[in-house]
Amino acid sequence: ADWFPYPVESWDPPFDMASPRTSVEYVPLDKASKPWELCVSFPHMKDAYWLGVDYGVSEEAKRLGVKMQLVEAGGYTELQKQVSQIEDCVAAGADAVIIGAISFDGLNNLVSEIRKKDIPVIDVINGMSSPELSAKSLVSFGEMGAKAGQFLAEAHPAGSETVKVGWFPGPAGAGWVEAGNTGFIGAVDGSAVEVVETKYGDTGKEAQSKLVEDTLEAHPDLDYIVGTAVTAEAAVPILRDRGLTDQVKVLSYYFTPGVDQGIRRGQILAAPTDSTVIQGRIAVDQAVRILEGKDYMKHVGPALYVVSQDTIKDFDPSSTLAPDGFKPVFRVE
Amino acid sequence: MNTEDQRGGPAFGAASSPGNDRGPAFGAAPLLETRGISKQYPGVLALDRVDFDLKPGEVHILFGENGAGKSTLISILAGVQRPTQGEVRFRGEKIEHESVHQARELGISAVFQEFSLVPQMTVEENLFLGAEITRGGVLDKVALHRRAQEIIDRLGFPLRPGDRVQHLTRAEQQMVEIAKAFRSDLSVLILDEPTASLTDRETEQLFALIDQIKAEGVGVVYITHRMQEIRRIGDRITVLRDGRYVATLDAKTAGDEELVRLMTGRVISELFPSIRFEPGEERLRIDRLTTPKKTVVDASLTVRSGEIVGLAGLVGSGKSEIMRAAFGVDPVATGKVTLKGEDISGLSTRERMNRGLFYIPPDRREEGLIMMRSCRENMSLPSLDRAPFAKGGLLDRVGEARRAGELADRMNLQPRRIERAVDHFSGGNQQKVLLAKCLTRPVDVYVFDEPTVGVDVGTRAAIYAFIRDLCEAGAAVVLISSDLPEILHLTNRVYVFYRGRVMAEVHGEDITEENLLKHFFEREAA
Amino acid sequence: MASPETGTKADISAPKRDLAYWMKFLFIRLGVLPFLLVIAIVIFTMMSDNFLSARNLTNVVRQSVYLMIVSLGQMFALLTGGFDLSVGTILAITSVVGASVMAAVYATMPDAVVLAIAIGALAGIAAGVAVGVCNGIGVAVFGVSPFIMTLGMSSVGFGIALFLTGGVPVYGMPVEFGEFFGFGKLFGVPVPIYIAALLALVTFFFVNWTRQGRYFYAVGGNEKAARLSGINTRMTLFITYVLTALLAGIAGMLLTARLDTGEANIGASMPLESIAACVIAGVSLRGGVGRVENVVLGALFIVLVQNGMNLARIESYLQMVVLGALLILAVIADQIRLRYLAGSQD
Amino acid sequence: MASPETGTKADISAPKRDLAYWMKFLFIRLGVLPFLLVIAIVIFTMMSDNFLSARNLTNVVRQSVYLMIVSLGQMFALLTGGFDLSVGTILAITSVVGASVMAAVYATMPDAVVLAIAIGALAGIAAGVAVGVCNGIGVAVFGVSPFIMTLGMSSVGFGIALFLTGGVPVYGMPVEFGEFFGFGKLFGVPVPIYIAALLALVTFFFVNWTRQGRYFYAVGGNEKAARLSGINTRMTLFITYVLTALLAGIAGMLLTARLDTGEANIGASMPLESIAACVIAGVSLRGGVGRVENVVLGALFIVLVQNGMNLARIESYLQMVVLGALLILAVIADQIRLRYLAGSQD
Ligand SMILES: Nc1ncnc2c1ncn2[C@@H]1O[C@H](COP(=O)(O)OP(=O)(O)OP(=O)(O)O)[C@@H](O)[C@H]1O
Ligand SMILES: Nc1ncnc2c1ncn2[C@@H]1O[C@H](COP(=O)(O)OP(=O)(O)OP(=O)(O)O)[C@@H](O)[C@H]1O
Ligand SMILES: [Mg+2]
Ligand SMILES: [Mg+2]
């Protein structure tokens, strides 16, 4: 079954998240006219989130009949490596570059260098500030945080009984974390939601486990744990162990297979999804369209929505998650 | 403190400040003197109000047992340590030695007991370490090379400036250490057992040089445990005991017995014991052994029970290497090693030990001891697989401590603190710990490589007696030594090595200095 | 290491035994860590109401279990004068392999829970030990410096762990595994604590009461002297890295039980943290010096401080500053102790 | 540093100088890195058409500049027998402080571009050096082990860098900064390459032709001997960490120019990578051994292999495995060389 048409939002003027947006149905090309060589760069390929994006780009590249080479820098602290890898990719003869950026600003120079060679650069998932980008296929992580925040704020509007939230945005300093943090804090502002603790930490499950445990010790009366998907997954067994499953609810601010399973089992309350797979697919399609001189949307992103225990039945995971048993694909011929 | 004018002066012991009234001697004013020097190490009072003076142009011997505080005294003179109490005067001026650097500025130069060489650097780089010649801030490598060669030539040592120190033998390193101390602006030279691993040839060269600088007015402080050296070069002798000043004597008139009595507080009848040799069955046999690096070439020897076999030869002659190869720590190219009739050529060191061979290395710091561990652990290390150190596969720590205590008594360890890290003992006492290692297990063939390096006369006598006891109890002993009297007095058979080959085997009555030395030097042409 | 006489002798020579004297005596005898622990506990108790509860302290000890076990292993590497930078990767690879095998066995035989757990845990630990065997061969046989050998292996191992999973957690282990080894309690004390205590005891015994234990110190203290004393130094080095990996592997399986999934993304901070735990416990990076009991305290101290700061609501950025500064201070305090120690040494 | 006679002597004693002989001779003389570089270049040229182009090779050299400069600094720490694990943090703190100051000066004086760049760069480097000064004081004065000192400072510094920026990149630097120091070219060669070459030359000169240079080797080779020779070992240790920080700081500013923003999240892999570059270049972790030219090659090698694998489209996980294995192999090859060297020694 094909994934399209898919409901997306398009920003106009592009590259400004504050622009007015219109809802459209995204329809990609059928086939590329020639096997273009695409280069895709990710911050890392160490978790299920980026695996989903990988699934999206690789499937779409196969569908369109283009070649793809994927590089990953190994983590959010490896900006310099990402720069080098993209340079290498271009040197290896890429026709277009798709970047899941480590830094919002740190790749701008590189983007203009590449653009000077008339190679299109598409910004996927994370966002970059360069005005010279050819296209963007993303939603802002700030909005993901905001979506999670809104979900809470709606459940606990101002005036209702205050609820205490432990907030675990992820590793300190990473661009997506800071964006998510800003979005979330902004969205719960003015509601009955009180963020009693903000704990940064690596997205390793062991690190998040420790933070969750310590926060539960510090705040025995906590109502919500909101954080990264890893936090949510880590929190489930800890809450079960402490018999707090009914007292403390868990939310994630993005979607992974573990979160999916958690919601289905009733262990995690809800999580917004940014349709990761679709973002990847659209980025590939945009790249091919630009290369072939076809019409393309400069700035699109799937509409965000929250998947909760009520709506999970109707949720199609193939828009967000790589299927079970999917192995990372680094090369599509 | 005005070091500037001091530095400007000549290296001779010219008249110095007139305020120098308390000089114990009447002749020239002292070059260097200490008054009431004490040094408190944590837990040990190493020096207790010691007065000492050095006159220009004399060789002043420091004499005393191991741990008497000789090295500590000279380390204060050289600016390495600061005294807890008392003062040091240089040419009558009180100096507050802040550092070695400052001492060197004054022309005080020292050869320390433990080498102060950087193994990864070349001879030349080591010679000028801390005193490199620069021109406009840039190292003058040409001048450095030339000066290094000059110093080496002057000393007549077989060293090459470009060699890396870590590839040198202990003796060669000792030469580098000595060469390092000889500098142009010398006023005081301090030598702490410089000849401990040298052979007579180098020693003689060193003494000739000392005579030369004496004539130039340099004062020399010389520490040694060898009586014949005291006779040869000493002018005055100061005896220390337990950190206290005992006496200062004239070297020409002082007798051996008196010195030893002053030093130890008792009389040592004779240094070398008489040994009853009863050669029995053959214990160790080495057949035509050659090492890959040709340090030993086609050498054969045999050792019987109840005898002491000496291995003699120049530095680098391969006398150590052959036994190291036999013990399995150095590789063997060809040849066969037989222990008690059994071929042990291919076995591991541990297996050779188990079959009764034991080798005590010459360099305790480098390969003998684990400096930061206690005496107890060092002593028991080779024998942790047997009683009293082990019981039922586990360590018997009570038995271990008891046995280590006994060994400390037997070796007369000073101070007798077996739990203390070896590092904190004086050089001679470290040597005792090293020797104690071979008493922890049954051994048929003992190999001692320079066993008395840096050991005082009293202890030396004890070690010789100990070796005699081993021999008379029926063990086979191999004694590798560059100290010729040791070989002459203790052995009943000697193999002389030259360039990795056995040049001669000398028996019983034939073991005389003349006979041995004749084989030491080149005879290849023949 | 100080002999028992020290105390006695000091007692005689110092008749006035006031508090300061006893403090100094204990400081010299026990090291700086017990004091730091006490100070930390006092401070955090004042800063947070919830800190000094039995539950939180149990929590701290349980959290520290993983670091503690890894640090015990790391100690072997440090004792022989090396490092093991691959302990993090060993954790990851153990977790991934162990969880996969356990899930697979469980899937084919849903009734044989114990068997599945046993086979899975063994497989995981075996995979970790395999990394250690490579390290051991590299260091002991080929003479590669432990730094590069274990750094290289950590890269290789992590690549393999990611290749096996693609970074996705491995699910499907029997719940009993997590329930017992991760969250289980016996007499109110979490199971992982028993296991860590057992391992610490065994290690203590091994290091102090067996021949091989002594050899680690000897090889680290002076390899040549050890060889001349008949010790098979290569074998000792090999055993070192295998043991380090074994302990890291056990920690990996325990962590897997706790996390309930097999994860490739764990342990990244373990190498440096475990070395830090050892060093503040007085283990020398030059080899030959170190004590098991102190290493246990070292690991506990690091985790306790992290926990305390979390409970005292110190913000994340500041926590980094405090933790770094504390590490340094702990070592400076230990330096001071060593000076005293030299002074009072028997 | 083998004496020149070695060559001559070998020539005389081995009249048949065939290719194998020369290869071995070069291998022993130059070390394993030139060979590895050549082998890597040949392999990657076969695997990818684009590898052996002037443009890509320039690219590789430019990419390696940052690691190279940091490794030169790391070499000092290793020479004296220590480490510097804080170079990554120094990079980050330099970047953040440098960018903030530069942006601030530029904002108040938009015309004084050169001034803003100069002040900003100096401020950044000064911030990095400040970390080095702390390291130096800790190691030289308080005798803290370099491992803990620099690890602790790296945590402290990173906390501060994050605190200063709140984790958000700093922008607003004059574009000229990035255009010249990041992307600028002179005669077709990128500006960073000139700077790295200059630094390498200065370091080479400093290490080989000044007294202080020699003292690093002496202190690392045998600290006691150095002290007994009248060298101020504390001062030397202090200088070591300041220099390491200075070089890391310069690399940090160059990287900032390249990225055009001040980032707290750079350099995390630098400490281990720079040590690895030094070690495969034959710098001993025990101190006292190492050569500047080889360190340059070591850094180049690591970056070249990464570039080559990217161009040859080797997949990411496999790259980790290959890189780890290569590090180990490089060191094994060097071990073999050392054995030859010992065998053929004077
Ligand atoms: N670093 C140290 N720490 C503690 N005690 C020490 C230290 N160095 C030496 N001592 C002690 O000081 C005393 C004097 O030692 P010193 O080395 O001066 O003796 P020595 O006369 O040179 O003996 P030897 O002939 O054996 O070299 C000894 O008791 C020794 O144990
Ligand atoms: N580590 C080493 N590396 C290279 N060559 C060495 C090394 N150790 C010893 N040699 C060489 O081996 C030869 C013999 O060594 P050594 O001097 O120990 O023999 P020896 O006869 O026992 O002399 P000594 O009187 O010093 O005991 C010398 O030429 C020396 O240069
Ligand atoms: Mg002495
Ligand atoms: Mg010898």
Question: What average pLDDT does the segment C320-339 reach?
Answer: 86
Radius of gyration in angstroms for the set of CA atoms belonging to chain B, rounded to a whole number: 24
Q: Examine the pLDDT at A107 and tell me if it is beyond 80.
A: yes
Nearest CA in chain A to D307: A88
Given a contact cutoff of 8 angstroms between Cβ atoms, the answer to whether B58 and B64 are in contact is: no
User: Residue of the nearest CA to atom 1 in ligand 2?
Assistant: B167
- CB contacts under 8 A, D 63-122 vs A, are 63, 66
Best probe of the C interface among A44, A46, A215, by most C CBs < 10 A, is A46
Q: Look up the pTM and report it.
A: 0.88
SS3 A209: helix
Q: Examine the pLDDT at C93 and tell me if it is beyond 50.
A: yes
Q: Of A168-177, C20-29, D131-140, which range is least confident?
A: C20-29
Dihedral of CA atoms B319, B323, B325, B329 in degrees, nearest 10, equals -120
Q: Which chain D residues touch B114 with a CB distance below 8 Å?
A: 224
What tens digit of pLDDT does each residue of C105-151 get? 999 999 999 999 999 999 999 999 999 999 999 999 998 989 889 99
- In Å, how far is B101's CA from the nearest CA of chain D? 4
Residue A329: C-alpha distances to residues A62, A123, B378, C224 (Å): 11, 20, 58, 51
Ligand 1 atom closest to Cα of residue B429: 26
Given a contact cutoff of 8 angstroms between Cβ atoms, the answer to whether A37 and A94 are in contact is: yes
Residue B100 is predicted with a pLDDT of: 83
User: Residue of the nearest CA to atom 7 in ligand 2?
Assistant: B167
Highest mean pLDDT among B127-131, B385-389, C182-186, D244-248: D244-248
Q: Mean pLDDT score of chain A, rounded to an integer?
A: 90
Counting one residue from chain C and one from chain D, the pairs whose CB atoms sit within 8 A come to 124
What tens digit of pLDDT does each residue of A5-63 get? 899 999 888 888 788 889 999 999 999 999 999 999 999 888 888 999 999 999 999 99
Q: Of A94-98, D28-32, D102-106, which range is least confident?
A: D28-32
Interface contact C155-D85, CB threshold 8 A: no
d(CA C53, CA C60): 11
CA angle B64, B66, B71 (to 5 degrees): 75
pLDDT band of residue D103 (cuts 50, 70, 90) is: very high
Given a contact cutoff of 8 angstroms between Cβ atoms, the answer to whether B286 and B322 are in contact is: yes
Residue D12 is predicted with a pLDDT of: 44
Can you give the three-state secondary structure of chain C, one letter per residue?
A: CCCCHHHHHHHHHCCCCCHHHHHHHHHHHHCHHHHHHHHHHHHHHHHCCCCCCHHHHHHHHHHHHHHHHHHHHHHHHHHCCCCCCCHHHHHHHHHHHHHHHHHHHHHHCCCCHHHHHHHHHHHHHHHHHHHHHHHHHHHHHCCCCHHHHHHHHHHHHHHHHHHHHCCCCECCCCHHHHHHHHCCEECCEEHHHHHHHHHHHHHHHHHHHCHHHHHHHHHHHCHHHHHHCCCCHHHHHHHHHHHHHHHHHHHHHHHHHHHCCECCCCCCCHHHHHHHHHHHCCCCCCCCCCCHHHHHHHHHHHHHHHHHHHHCCCCHHHHHHHHHHHHHHHHHHHHHHHHHHHHHCC
Determine the residue of B38, B48, B52, B71 to mutate for testing ligand 1's pocket, defined as the one with the most ligand atoms within 8 A of the Cβ atom.
B71
Residue B313 is predicted with a pLDDT of: 87
Determine the residue of B177, B199, B295, B322 to mutate for testing ligand 2's pocket, defined as the one with the most ligand atoms within 8 A of the Cβ atom.
B295
Kindly give the distance from the C-alpha atom of residue B173 to the centroid of ligand 4, in angstroms, as a whole number.
12
What tens digit of pLDDT does each residue of B251-307 get? 888 888 888 888 877 766 677 888 888 898 999 999 999 999 888 999 999 999 999
Residue A1 is predicted with a pLDDT of: 58
- In Å, how far is B193's CA from the nearest CA of chain D? 17
- In Å, how far is D86's CA from the nearest CA of chain C? 11
d(CA A175, CA A203): 14
Residue B16 is predicted with a pLDDT of: 39
Q: Examine the pLDDT at D344 and tell me if it is beyond 70.
A: no
Which tops the pLDDT comparison, D265 or D12? D265
- In Å, how far is D139's CA from the nearest CA of chain C? 10
Nearest CA in chain C to A47: C167
What are the residue ranges in chain B where pLDDT is below 50? 1-26, 524-526
In chain A, the percentage of residues whose pLDDT exceeds 90 is: 55
Q: Mean pLDDT score of chain D, rounded to an integer?
A: 88
| Facing residue for D268 by CB, picked from A72, A78, A87 | A78
Residue B24 is predicted with a pLDDT of: 39
What tens digit of pLDDT does each residue of A281-321 get? 999 999 999 999 999 999 999 988 999 999 999 888 888 99
Q: Which chain C residues touch A44 with a CB distance below 8 Å?
A: 167
Kindly give the distance from the C-alpha atom of residue B518 to the centroid of ligand 2, in angstroms, as a whole number.
22
**Among the bound ligands, the one closest to the CA of B242:** 1
- CB contacts under 8 A, B 277-316 vs D, are 292-293
Best probe of the C interface among A206, A215, A240, by most C CBs < 10 A, is A206
d(CA A107, CA A109): 6
pLDDT band of residue D294 (cuts 50, 70, 90) is: very high
Residue B204 is predicted with a pLDDT of: 86
Residue A63 is predicted with a pLDDT of: 93
The β-bridge partners of B47 are: B39
Ligand 1 neighbourhood includes B67 CB (under 6 angstroms):
yes
Residue A326 DSSP code: P
Q: Where are the alpha helices (DSSP H) in B65-218?
A: 70-77, 100-105, 123-127, 141-155, 170-181, 200-215
Question: What average pLDDT does the segment C224-238 reach?
Answer: 94
Interface contact A106-D259, CB threshold 8 A: yes
SS3 A76: coil
Residue A243 in contact with partner chain C when CB distance is under 8 A: no
Residue B26 is predicted with a pLDDT of: 45
Kindly give the distance from the C-alpha atom of residue B348 to the centroid of ligand 2, in angstroms, as a whole number.
22
Both tokens of A231, joined, read: 């936090």
Residue C192 is predicted with a pLDDT of: 95
Question: What average pLDDT does the segment D133-140 reach?
Answer: 96
Q: What is the ipTM of this complex?
A: 0.86
Kindly give the distance from the C-alpha atom of residue B362 to the centroid of ligand 4, in angstroms, as a whole number.
7
Interface contact D324-C149, CB threshold 8 A: no
Residue C48 in contact with partner chain A when CB distance is under 8 A: yes
Interface contact D151-C332, CB threshold 8 A: no
Given a contact cutoff of 8 angstroms between Cβ atoms, the answer to whether B217 and B165 are in contact is: no
Question: What average pLDDT does the segment C280-302 reach?
Answer: 91
Rounded to the nearest 5°, which phi and psi values hold at B144?
A: -60, -45
Kindly give the distance from the C-alpha atom of residue B310 to the centroid of ligand 4, in angstroms, as a whole number.
13
**Among the bound ligands, the one closest to the CA of B329:** 2
- In Å, how far is D338's CA from the nearest CA of chain B? 13
Interface contact A50-C167, CB threshold 8 A: yes
Q: Which chain A residues touch C55 with a CB distance below 8 Å?
A: 217
| Facing residue for D171 by CB, picked from A80, A83, A105 | A105
Which tops the pLDDT comparison, D3 or A201? A201
**Among the bound ligands, the one closest to the CA of B224:** 1
Residue B97 is predicted with a pLDDT of: 60
Instruction: Tell me the longest C-alpha to C-alpha distance in chain B.
Output: 75
Residue C183 in contact with partner chain A when CB distance is under 8 A: yes
Counting one residue from chain A and one from chain C, the pairs whose CB atoms sit within 8 A come to 106
Ligand 1 neighbourhood includes B64 CB (under 6 angstroms):
yes
